[in-house]
Structure 1
Amino acid sequence: MNRNLAIKLGVIGVLIMLLMIPLLLIGGMVSDRQALRDGVLADIARSSSAAQALTGPLLVVPYRKTVREWKTHEKTAERYLEEREYRGRLYFLPERFELNGHIATEQRSRGIYQARLYHSDNQISGHFQLPAQYGISEDYADYRFEPAFLSVGISDIRGIENDLKLRFNGTELAFAAGSADRLLSSGVHAPLPALDGVNGQRLDFAFDLKLQGTAQLSVTPLGRETLVQLSSDWPHPSFIGEFLPVTREVSATGFSARWQTSFFATNFAEALDDCVSRDDCRAFNSREFGVSFVDPVDQYLKTDRAIKYALLFIALTFAGFFLFEVLKRLAVHPVQYGLVGLALALFYLLLLSLSEHLPFATAYGVAASVCVALLGVYLAGVLHSAVRGGVFAASLAALYALLYGLLSAEDYALLMGSLLVFGLLAGVMLLTRKLDWYALGKPA
């Protein structure tokens, strides 16, 4: 290989490195626009309602306990009986908890950005089994019980869309604002009528909850047996949390999912005891499941993925030019290499800007079409042939089509990318398998 050819390869390598500068700038712009979008979505959530987490219900029974203790007087050494009163609360988890919900999604716009909100229509029911003497094994007479209440944790109460009414053992009761208990933070509670704490009883409950939120909905499975069924018109659910649904169906028109857990799987009785007695609520607050309504692959993520293949595109195009030079004895100036590389880099800027206003597939098609048309016309002049320019344009169009397939595939992107690179390398090797590289620099 002669010296001029080696210099040409070096210049091409330097051009590729220089073209990484605009690509890095465009990549940074993608991150900035994504951060701006996320800030707008967070602002929309603050103005309406955020992601919702539903915990409960819990049956809470406040009490006062009298403690008697013999003490000795410091000065007279006389013994006396001291009585002190402690306040506390008993907590009871549902024996059975059921939630049946249908979720409808909608989009809210602010400028060019859109946030996905949902409206969840939930029917919640179940029952508690109150043990005799509230399960107290000590002297029951030392306890004085205050009115019990049912507490439901709702992470953002601004999303409640209906007047909540509790159906409790055949009686309709009104909910009041606030969970009235530190374990559940924000939410609602319903004061209950007098309970039969001496003999114990079964307590049935049911209520309807219409809830608005953004991004995701999660449920904490507090029941000894928990059954949750959710359906929605959202076709791209992402199931989140500690437990996956036991059955699920996902289609282009939406999804349906069913969760079922028990105390054996959740160990919520112990988690609740740790939270109450040791003030360690990490396990109690972390064992939840639900669904996320965020688009799994949005336009910014797809654009960022596309930029990761930019170096491959530029290298393949320059390799095609180089093959034309060595096989057809055509001279392509480094400036022409650079202009073609800039056109390939600007495709990603066009894609980013268009995808903020158009569906990603349309934006991709428009950006790819104008770039292929520009390069086809330009290369027809550079290669001194309309046919050669058309062949290059068709090759670029095929590469853009393959790249779109890579961006759309969530699970097979690596496999498709590997096969693409292998196929292109095999094509170059087959085209140059009889080329005498040492003879390129010798006179004819």
Structure 2
Amino acid sequence: MQTQRETKHLGQTRLAIKAGVILILSLCLLIPLSMIRGQINERGNYLQQVKRDIASSWTGNQTLLTPVLVQPYTTQPSSGDSPPKTRYKLIPLLESQLLVDATVEMRARGIYRVPVYTADVVISGRVDRAHWGQSIKDLLAKKNVTSVLPAYIAVGVSDQRGIDNSIGVQVGEQSVKATPGTGIADYEGGFSFQLPQAQNQDELTAIATAFAGPKPVNAIGQNSSAEKDQFVVNFAMRGMSNLRLIPTASSLNVRLHSRWPHPKFHGAFLPQEKNITPQGFSAAWRVNGFNANSEERLQSCSDSGCKALADTGFGVELFQPVDAYLQTERALKYGILFIAICFAAFFIFESVGGINIHPIQYALVGVTLAIFYLLLLALAEHIPFYAAYTIAAGSCCLLLLEYLSAMLGRRRRAAIFCGCLAVLYAKLYVILQMEDFALLMGSLMMFALLALLMITTRNIRWHEATAQKTSALLPTAR
């Protein structure tokens, strides 16, 4: 009886020691997983550096300030000796339409590739002459305003290097020359063009007198000025990865088309119409002065800054869905789970199957599972992610099949173990492709594995199993 109790106690002690050693090994394997994570971050930083290098020689992400009417005026400071200052009032257009056709190509630096685009932009719009006239009248009514200057239409571009030299401008039936710059403090890059119907003080005063006031504009005056108030602009603009538009008109319609199959829409307004196919995408936005609050934000831009106006921006990113670094980092989050599952399986084999597995063998298997992620990262930089994943997972499974055949004593056991591991790798790949449901599917997989482990081991009498194994290893008393 005493011998049985000692044997049982010895078995429990060995079980506790072995479990402690396995736990320590699992924690130690977090070190190579952390080193691999650092390598992923380092390679990802190289990609960001490549993007900055390409932006310095091509252009960066573009922000396009849609056309806005700029009315300059001069003010006399309170101190009479100071010279007059020129200020700008931003007036929203009555309506504006943008047609954008973006041609995408890939620019490479070594193994890194970044999408860039050349966008053919056609802008048509119409000046709100009544609003314009009322604005001039309000300006001239101020005591410190001495005069109003010729007004112009401004189109802002964040990176002016991306604008093609040939800019076509048609105001009514007259061709107008575009000049660099906008005169808007926060959006100085871009171009502008004068309005032929308002080139001097007398004309601007006449507009204020004829079109401002509580009475509506008569139909004859409206028709006579309609053609003069309309304009069409066409130009080409280069950019990288991202195109953002800032609405300024009382009514803005945007249509954007590209042959890039992976758009990512963002900003304050999502497209009201969109069509995405493997051959490309098209999208349409409709923004008005009520939901964008254009006039108030333009007034704020004139007085203090354009941050409120910038908050209404929207656009599209040329998204790269197969990002080797993002996908590998997401896969690495399940690394410790794979190691824990494998170690738990070995521990069960060892406890109830009469197999002795050395801690070094545990460590070698764990390192093999960690090397999978390093192989995946290295291969995914040169070949498609699905191919890199297949090669890395297949290589690790074949290596473990050969090693476990000797370690577990039977090739069938090793084949079953490696088959289950291959299924786990396949499930992980499916989870990685589900961007919106990745967390849900990953949580369900972890719960299912835990449930499977608990159900399959629910009838094991751990104390009896360890006692029998310990007594079998003890020398027989003579």
Q: Is TM more than 0.5 here?
A: yes
1:89 matched to 2:92 = no
Deviation digits for residues 5-24 of structure 1 (CA, Å, limit 9, x no counterpart)? 21111111111011111111
Deviation digits for residues 168-191 of structure 1 (CA, Å, limit 9, x no counterpart)? 111111212222443521111123
Match of 2:47 among 23, 30, 37: 37
Alignment of 1:142-161 (within 5 A): 144-161=147-164
Deviation digits for residues 340-386 of structure 1 (CA, Å, limit 9, x no counterpart)? 00111111111111111111111111111111110111101111111
The AA in structure 1 aligned to 2:167 is L
1:353 corresponding residue in structure 2 = 378
1:184 corresponding residue in structure 2 = 187
Q: Distance in 2 between matches of 1:299 and 1:355?
A: 6
Tell me how many residue pairs correspond in the alignment. 432
The AA in structure 2 aligned to 1:314 is I
Q: Tell me: CA distance 1:424–1:183, structure 2 relative to 1, closer, same or farther (3 Å).
A: closer
2:352 corresponding residue in structure 1 = 327
Q: Distance in 1 between matches of 2:394 and 2:433?
A: 18
1:161 Cα deviation (Å)? 3.1
Give the secondary structure class of the aligned counterpart of 2:245. Answer: strand
Give the secondary structure class of the aligned counterpart of 2:122. Answer: strand
Q: Tell me: CA distance 1:163–1:83, structure 2 relative to 1, closer, same or farther (3 Å).
A: closer
Match of 1:229 among 242, 255, 264: 255
Q: Distance in 2 between matches of 1:118 and 1:333?
A: 58
TM-score, normalised with respect to structure 1: 0.91
Identity across the alignment (%)? 38
Q: Which moved more, 1:117-126 or 1:13-22?
A: 117-126
Q: Distance in 2 between matches of 1:120 and 1:87?
A: 34
Q: Tell me: CA distance 1:439–1:298, structure 2 relative to 1, closer, same or farther (3 Å).
A: same
1:192 Cα deviation (Å)? 3.0
Q: Distance in 1 between matches of 2:456 and 2:83?
A: 95
1:167 matched to 2:170 = yes
- Given that 1:63 and 1:87 are in contact with CA atoms closer than 8 Å, whether structure 2 keeps it comes out as yes
Alignment of 1:36-435 (within 5 A): 36-64=46-74, 87-131=86-130, 132=133, 135-137=136-138, 138=140, 144-161=147-164, 163-195=166-198, 196-197=203-204, 198=206, 199-200=210-211, 201-202=225-226, 203-277=229-303, 279-296=304-321, 298-435=323-460
- Given that 1:148 and 1:194 are in contact with CA atoms closer than 8 Å, whether structure 2 keeps it comes out as no
- Given that 1:92 and 1:128 are in contact with CA atoms closer than 8 Å, whether structure 2 keeps it comes out as no
TM-score, normalised with respect to structure 2: 0.85
Q: Distance in 2 between matches of 1:349 and 1:240?
A: 33
Q: Distance in 1 between matches of 2:76 and 2:111?
A: 64
Give the secondary structure class of the aligned counterpart of 2:382. Answer: coil
The AA in structure 2 aligned to 1:39 is Q
Q: Distance in 2 between matches of 1:158 and 1:99?
A: 21
Q: Tell me: CA distance 1:11–1:86, structure 2 relative to 1, closer, same or farther (3 Å).
A: closer
**Which structure's residues are more often strand, by fraction?**
1
Give the secondary structure class of the aligned counterpart of 1:174. Answer: coil
Deviation digits for residues 24-47 of structure 1 (CA, Å, limit 9, x no counterpart)? 111111111111111111111111
Match of 1:16 among 14, 18, 26: 26
Q: Distance in 2 between matches of 1:442 and 1:111?
A: 61
Q: Distance in 1 between matches of 2:134 and 2:248?
A: 22
Q: Which moved more, 1:131-140 or 1:423-432?
A: 131-140
- Given that 1:217 and 1:290 are in contact with CA atoms closer than 8 Å, whether structure 2 keeps it comes out as yes
Ranges in structure 1 where 5+ consecutive residues have no aligned partner: 72-81
- Given that 2:136 and 2:148 are in contact with CA atoms closer than 8 Å, whether structure 1 keeps it comes out as no
Q: Distance in 1 between matches of 2:278 and 2:180?
A: 39
Deviation digits for residues 245-271 of structure 1 (CA, Å, limit 9, x no counterpart)? 122222332222111111111112111
Give the secondary structure class of the aligned counterpart of 2:466. Answer: coil
Q: Distance in 1 between matches of 2:51 and 2:74?
A: 47
- Given that 1:147 and 1:193 are in contact with CA atoms closer than 8 Å, whether structure 2 keeps it comes out as no
Ranges in structure 2 where 5+ consecutive residues have no aligned partner: 1-10, 212-224, 473-478
Q: Distance in 1 between matches of 2:85 and 2:448?
A: 77
Deviation digits for residues 58-107 of structure 1 (CA, Å, limit 9, x no counterpart)? 222333467999x9xxxxxxxxxx99956433432211011111222211
